[in-house]
């Protein structure tokens, strides 16, 4: 075959298929693999078509490439082709080329700089739509170098009378400022009469530009404050103008522009009395006159409320704003309720009393089906709890804790503990509340809840009998919730004597024998459900009962000797030490296992002295004491310090099991050559 048949060959190759056909073909694919095959085949033909530098079909091929890119297939080999399309004279080519540039290119590829010259020419093109394309592309993905080169052109277009171009230039300017903040000054003169425009598109984008400039520079912000009267006037016209079919959205005149202006006013009025005063009237007007039956009206109202709360508005206006939010809470539309709760959360610190008035509505939102709304309502409820409403609120919150999803339980439990600590009306109420939390959501409470609760119980001396009784009953019912069981075990060890003696003032005392208490503690020790920390608590509790109970001492001794060979190292160590206490140091046992004194609360590293209870001297909890305590001359006192200190530590600080080891070590030191195998 002679070589001059090449053009004939080309003629014979089929034309690249249209985008429509490609899409149709791909839709017939039944599996991902089939689709991948079709795409690869088409990519190959597109690549060869590109190689031929065929101007006629470039447009079509790039369009197909963009489609495949959207589906997730690589398309970077089309980047240069986009540039060629941009350089073409045809509008059709340019359109696809610029779209391709926006989708496929970004500033990390050097290739994009080649666009700069094309864009520059197109910004000065005779056809406004071409200029529009160039502005759009520059405004979407222009890199800082491109922006620097072309900022002048953009500034020129910002002053044109063509509103189509002016609005695009304004947004392009925003992008330029974001990329190269130093150029902001350059656009200042052009902003002078932006607000005089009648065209809403230009007005809208101008307000965006002004907003961006004010956000970036306090000087600009001060400079633009003088625009407040003009902005107020524009807003007024929008509200009062009556029906305008052009800008009407569901009966409201250009709600998007209204929202934008309100936002800019918010920025300008913040911390400035004069500006705030100038806006007071219009804000009140918008707040009272806006139609609320559709979402657009509510969007405007919402923005108005945010503005009122942020500027220095007079108190009447603020109350109006919060009442609007309260009304929002009753709206059927859940979006509105969500948005209202979010704003109330922001304002509850500054306008606490006003928000309190809507407390019952907020609490009702706890029962909403929507997860996002429930979370907001919970946060807001905790913010609203105070000394006056604590009882009622707590009832609702406990009810919520019971029914809510697991994801909320931890936060809710912590919140309840904090609130109870701050505002508890009585010790009994406090303990009851905490008990309820432990029984309802026991497995979700945080680790520090246990030591805090133990401290609370210790310090409520008159409630000891009541507490241990309640805990005993709770543990009998359910031994699976670890924090509850740990507190219960500790209390039973500490106050077991009160439990069996049947003296309880607060409620009907129950009849419990020593054996029954021992049974419960042993069950805890042996149960599979108990964590090893819980077992530790149970063992120590049993030991403490040796001085409080009279008839079970042998049983206790037996348990200790059994656990002396436990495979759990922590339990083994404890059991061995307690054994030693029985055998060699029986005379010290009652002193060592005495009732715990009032603990001082360690809050934020500062120790506050709590009230003394007269039984024993209050002991200072000093962290240093625990790590290294050199034995002083009075051995008994040291033991008291060391044991007492460590016990307190393991309860107040969630200390890893290793802590008692150091104490045990020291105990061993003091005991001299103790034979551990015994």
Minimum CB distance to other proteins smaller for 200 or for 358: 200
**C-alpha–C-alpha distance, residues 209 and 467, integer Å:** 65
Minimum CB distance to other proteins smaller for 96 or for 412: 96
Residue 27 is a binding residue for other proteins (CB under 8 A): yes
Q: Say if CB 464 and CB 495 are below 8 A apart.
A: yes
Residue 228's Cβ-count burial label (10 Å; 0-12, 13-18, 19+) is buried
Minimum CB distance to other proteins smaller for 99 or for 284: 99
Residue 249 is a binding residue for other proteins (CB under 8 A): yes
Least Å from the CB of residue 583 to other proteins? 59
Q: Say if CB 314 and CB 279 are below 8 A apart.
A: no
**C-alpha–C-alpha distance, residues 267 and 264, integer Å:** 5
Give the containing element (helix H, strand E) for 633: none
Tokens for 179, please give them.
């990329």
Considering only residues 90, 226, 422, 584, which one is a binding residue for other proteins as defined by CB under 8 A? 90
Main-chain dihedrals φ then ψ at residue 252, nearest 5 degrees:
-120, 140
**C-alpha–C-alpha distance, residues 167 and 157, integer Å:** 9
Residue 256 is a binding residue for other proteins (CB under 8 A): yes
Q: Can you spell out the DSSP letters for 70-126?
A: HHT---GGGHHHHHHHHHSS-HHHHHHHHHHHHHH--TTSGGGGGHHHHHHHHHT-S
Q: Say if CB 269 and CB 280 are below 8 A apart.
A: no
Least Å from the CB of residue 259 to other proteins? 5
Minimum CB distance to other proteins smaller for 303 or for 641: 303
Residue 367 is a binding residue for other proteins (CB under 8 A): no
Size of the site for other proteins (CB under 8 A): 77
Q: Say if CB 565 and CB 516 are below 8 A apart.
A: no
Residue 423 is a binding residue for other proteins (CB under 8 A): no
Considering only residues 29, 38, 45, 67, which one is a binding residue for other proteins as defined by CB under 8 A? 67
Tell me the window of 90-98, 345-353, 399-407, 664-672 that interacts with other proteins (CB under 8 A). Answer: 90-98
One character per residue 169-198, x = contact with other proteins (rule: CB under 8 A) = --xx-xx-----------------------
User: What residues between 135 and 164 interact with other proteins by CB under 8 A?
Assistant: 135-136, 139-141, 164
Degrees, nearest 5: CA angle 651-656-659: 80
Considering only residues 50, 302, 472, 578, which one is a binding residue for other proteins as defined by CB under 8 A? 302
Least Å from the CB of residue 266 to other proteins? 11
Tell me the window of 87-95, 350-358, 607-615, 650-658 that interacts with other proteins (CB under 8 A). Answer: 87-95
User: What residues between 309 and 338 interact with other proteins by CB under 8 A?
Assistant: 334-338
Considering only residues 12, 192, 587, 624, which one is a binding residue for other proteins as defined by CB under 8 A? 12
Residue 14 is a binding residue for other proteins (CB under 8 A): yes
Least Å from the CB of residue 298 to other proteins? 6
Least Å from the CB of residue 159 to other proteins? 18
User: What residues between 114 and 133 interact with other proteins by CB under 8 A?
Assistant: 127, 129
Residue 77 is a binding residue for other proteins (CB under 8 A): no
Minimum CB distance to other proteins smaller for 168 or for 409: 168
Residues forming a β-bridge with 249: 252
Tell me the window of 345-353, 363-371, 433-441, 478-486 that interacts with other proteins (CB under 8 A). Answer: 363-371
Residue 259 is a binding residue for other proteins (CB under 8 A): yes
Distance of CA 82 to the CA centre of its chain: 42
Minimum CB distance to other proteins smaller for 302 or for 466: 302
Buried (b) or exposed (e) across 399-437, using 16+ Cβ within 10 A?
ebbeebeeebbebbbbbbbebbeebbeebbebbbbbbbb
Q: Say if CB 341 and CB 376 are below 8 A apart.
A: yes
Say how many C-beta atoms besides its own lie within 10 A of residue 607's C-beta: 13
User: What residues between 196 and 215 interact with other proteins by CB under 8 A?
Assistant: 200-201, 204-205, 208
Closest among 616, 578, 623, 584 to 598, alpha carbons compared: 616
């Amino acid at each position: 075959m002679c070589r001059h048949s090449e053009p004939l060959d080309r003629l014979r190759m089929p034309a690249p298929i249209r985008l429509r056909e490609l899409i149709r073909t791909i839709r017939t694919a039944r599996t991902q693999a089939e689709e991948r095959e079709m795409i690869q085949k088409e990519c190959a033909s597109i690549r060869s078509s590109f190689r031929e530098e065929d101007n006629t079909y470039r447009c079509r091929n790039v369009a197909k490439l963009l489609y495949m890119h959207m589906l997730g297939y690589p398309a970077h080999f089309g980047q240069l082709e986009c540039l060629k399309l941009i350089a073409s004279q045809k509008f059709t080519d340019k359109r696809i080329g610029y779209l391709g540039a926006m989708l496929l290119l970004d500033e990390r590829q050097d290739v994009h700089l080649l666009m700069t010259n094309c864009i520059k020419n197109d910004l000065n093109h005779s056809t406004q739509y071409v200029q529009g394309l160039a502005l759009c592309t520059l405004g979407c993905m222009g890199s800082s170098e491109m922006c620097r080169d072309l900022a002048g052109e953009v500034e020129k277009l910002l002053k044109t009378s063509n509103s189509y171009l002016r609005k695009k230039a304004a947004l392009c300017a925003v992008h330029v400022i974001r990329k190269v903040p130093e150029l902001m000054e350059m656009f200042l003169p052009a902003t002078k009469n932006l607000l005089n425009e009648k065209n809403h598109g230009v007005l809208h984008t101008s307000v965006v530009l002004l907003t961006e400039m004010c956000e970036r520079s306090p000087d600009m912000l001060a400079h633009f404050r003088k625009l407040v009267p003009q902005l107020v006037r524009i807003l007024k016209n929008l509200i009062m103008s009556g029906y305008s079919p052009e800008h009407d959205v569901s009966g409201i005149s250009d709600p998007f522009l209204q929202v934008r202006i309100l936002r800019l006013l918010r920025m300008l009025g913040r911390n400035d009395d004069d500006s705030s005063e100038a806006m007071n009237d219009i804000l009140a007007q918008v707040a009272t006159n806006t139609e609320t039956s559709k979402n657009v009206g509510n969007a405007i109202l919402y923005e108005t409320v945010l503005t009122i709360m942020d500027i220095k508005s007079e108190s009447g206006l603020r109350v109006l704003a919060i009442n609007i939010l309260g009304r929002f809470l009753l709206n059927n539309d859940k979006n509105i309720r969500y948005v209202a709760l979010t704003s109330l959360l922001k304002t509850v610190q500054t306008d606490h009393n006003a928000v309190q008035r809507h407390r019952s509505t907020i609490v009702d939102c706890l029962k909403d089906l929507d997860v996002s709304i429930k979370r907001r309502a919970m946060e807001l409820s905790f913010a609203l709890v105070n000394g006056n409403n604590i009882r009622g609120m707590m009832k609702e919150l406990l009810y919520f804790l019971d029914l809510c999803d697991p994801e909320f339980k931890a936060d809710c439990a912590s919140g309840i503990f904090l609130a109870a600590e701050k505002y508890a009306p009585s010790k009994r109420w406090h303990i009851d509340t905490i008990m309820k939390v432990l029984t309802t959501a026991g497995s979700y409470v945080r680790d520090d809840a246990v030591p805090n609760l133990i401290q609370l119980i210790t310090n409520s001396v008159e409630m000891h009998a009541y507490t241990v009784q309640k805990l005993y009953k709770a543990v009998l019912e359910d031994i699976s919730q670890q924090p509850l069981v740990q507190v219960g075990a500790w209390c039973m060890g500490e106050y077991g004597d009160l439990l069996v003696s049947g003296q309880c003032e607060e409620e009907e005392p129950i009849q419990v024998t020593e054996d029954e208490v021992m049974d419960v503690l042993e069950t805890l020790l042996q149960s599979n459900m108990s964590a090893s920390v819980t077992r530790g608590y149970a063992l120590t509790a049993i030991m403490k009962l040796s001085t409080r109970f009279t008839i079970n001492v042998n049983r206790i001794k037996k348990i200790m000797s059994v656990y002396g060979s436990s495979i759990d190292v922590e339990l083994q160590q404890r059991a061995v030490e307690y054994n030693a206490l029985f055998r060699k140091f029986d005379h010290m046992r009652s002193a060592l296992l005495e009732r715990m004194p009032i603990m001082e609360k360690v809050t934020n590293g500062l120790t506050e002295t709590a009230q003394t209870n007269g039984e024993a001297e209050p002991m200072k909890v000093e962290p240093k004491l625990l790590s290294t305590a050199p034995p002083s001359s009075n051995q008994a006192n040291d033991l008291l310090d060391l044991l007492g200190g460590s016990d307190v530590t393991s309860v107040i600080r969630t200390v890893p099991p290793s802590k008692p080891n150091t104490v045990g070590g020291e105990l061993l030191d003091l005991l001299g050559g103790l034979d551990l195998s015994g």
